[in-house]
Amino acid sequence: MKLLAATNRYYLLLAGLLFTVGSVLLYVGVLWALREEVEERLFQQREYLTRAVQRTGKLPNTPFEGRTSVSATPQPTGLRDVLLLEPLENELEPYRQLTFPLTLDGRVQWVSLSKSLLETKDVRQLILLLLVGVLGALLGAWWC
């Protein structure tokens, strides 16, 4: 009987370790995929705006979700994480922002496209809740 109890203990430790490693890999993988999707959308929007400005010389009305801003002062180009004020809730919210120069009306302007990361936060919380629930169910079944 002692051998069976020791074997069960080792199996439980191994299962817990594998579950933990798998959970961390799943969590990191989903976060990476969501971040890549946000960045891909921002780059697609940049290409759309660049082509539209080359055709018309003006910035079109953008049908994008997220925010668009234009500045005459030089901005750091590329991707970055920023906190922007949400006017309805008067709170700072996380955004992924792509800034790039664009020539409008013969002058260089810096266009910033921003997409909210709150959707990714909701998905992160859901994954964490599900993984903790599954772990609780597995441990609960083991204790019974």
| Mean pLDDT for all residues in the chain | 85
pLDDT tens, position by position, 114-140? 998 877 777 878 888 888 888 777 777
> What range does the domain containing 130 cover?
2-143
Of 9-13, 35-39, 55-59, 61-65, minimum mean pLDDT range: 61-65
Dihedral of the CA atoms 91, 131, 123, 47 (nearest 10)?
130
Instruction: For residues 46-68, give the mean pLDDT.
Output: 85
Query: What average pLDDT score do residues 84-106 get?
Result: 88
pLDDT of residue 79: 94
Task: Tally the domains of the chain.
Answer: 1
